[in-house]
Amino acid sequence: MADIKELRKRMEGALASLKSEFSGLRTGRANAQLVEPIDVDAYGSKMPMTQVGTISVPEPRMITINVWDKSLVGAVEKAIREAGIGVNPVVDGQNVRIPIPPLTEERRKELAKVAAKYAEQAKVAIRNVRREGMEAVKKAEGGEDEQKKLSEEVQKLTDEMVKKVDEAYETKEAEIMQV
């Protein structure tokens, strides 16, 4: 039997993943989530930025990282430079300051394309869950009426989730394109 609650949970997981990816996309404002996923070479292994220092956003166009171990300041700076996020970190003692430059029109368009790609991946994931749900409906015991009702529910859920993905994308695109 196709469990609608389970399908909803899996589709919402795809939506949550999309929102997480969107949070890492740079807009014109500083956001701690821009540097959180960056791994730093520390103590012979890769460690997330959140485990080597305190990340804060003291003003709209500045991210600061207070590195706990002074010997890791260089590694943090190097990791940020190599992350390809288009920022230039400045070392200030045990702090690494990251000024966030305003986005150029060209960069805004690139980021909007990346956001569109993320949205499309989320839709594909939702459609895959829908396909599995429809296959489960076909295999399910019960009459034709029951199967038709279930497949309509699965389709309605899919449409609802795709609409949420589109709304999330439109919001993110407006945020990126805002000057």
Edge-to-edge strand ranges of the sheet holding 90-92: 53-59, 62-67, 95-99, 90-92
Q: What global pTM score does this model have?
A: 0.68
| Residue-level pLDDT, tens digit, the chain, 179 residues | 458 889 999 999 999 988 888 877 767 678 888 888 889 998 899 999 999 999 999 988 899 999 999 999 999 999 998 887 778 899 999 999 999 888 788 888 888 888 899 999 999 999 999 999 888 888 877 778 888 888 899 999 999 999 999 999 999 898 888 76
Domains of the chain, first to last: 4-23+104-177 (1.10.132.20), 32-99 (3.30.1360.40)
**CB-based burial label for 73 (10 Å; 0-12, 13-18, 19+):** buried
